[in-house]
Amino acid sequence: MSISFPEVEGELRQPSLMRRFAAMIYDGFLVVAIWMCAGFAAVGLNQGEAVSGPIFQSVLFLLTFAFYAYFWVRLGQTLGMQAWKLRVQTVDGHHISLRQALIRFMTAIVSLACFGLGFFWMLFSANKATWHDSFSETQIVLLPK
């Protein structure tokens, strides 16, 4: 069962790469705040000792995915995307699934690890799609004011 977004007057455009990066920076600050809260909680649970290692890093990774997955699947927008009037959706205008969110998240990590090549790909793509847009069969649209 796929839930579609409310109809928006006019055709939705593809946002620029700079607008996408601005939303990513905004969301990056929120993710860092989540990591800091997790770090404070972990230090408290560890009786004041510093926390590191693969378990803590895995928790941070899962918290980061949970942040993006929650907003993408439930609302179609993270807080940064709301501020910059962006929305993630399927190519036919519906909410994305948890599976699509996972594919999108993991492919975006690869895109960043390749020095952002997966993001810059949209400059050469006919449909302005990044790697994670293409692999997850989703798109980012610019909402009207």
Q: Which long-range contacts (CB under 8 A, 24 or more apart) does 106-111 make?
A: 107/131, 107/132, 107/135, 107/136, 108/132
pLDDT digits (tens, 9 = 90+) for 121-138: 999 998 899 999 999 999
Q: Summarize pLDDT for 31-56 with one digit per residue, the tens.
A: 999 999 999 999 888 887 777 888 99
Share of residues in the chain with pLDDT > 70 (%): 93
pTM for the full model? 0.88
pLDDT (0 to 100) of residue 74: 97
Note the pLDDT tens digit of each residue in 55-102.
999 999 999 999 999 999 999 999 999 999 999 999 999 999 999 999
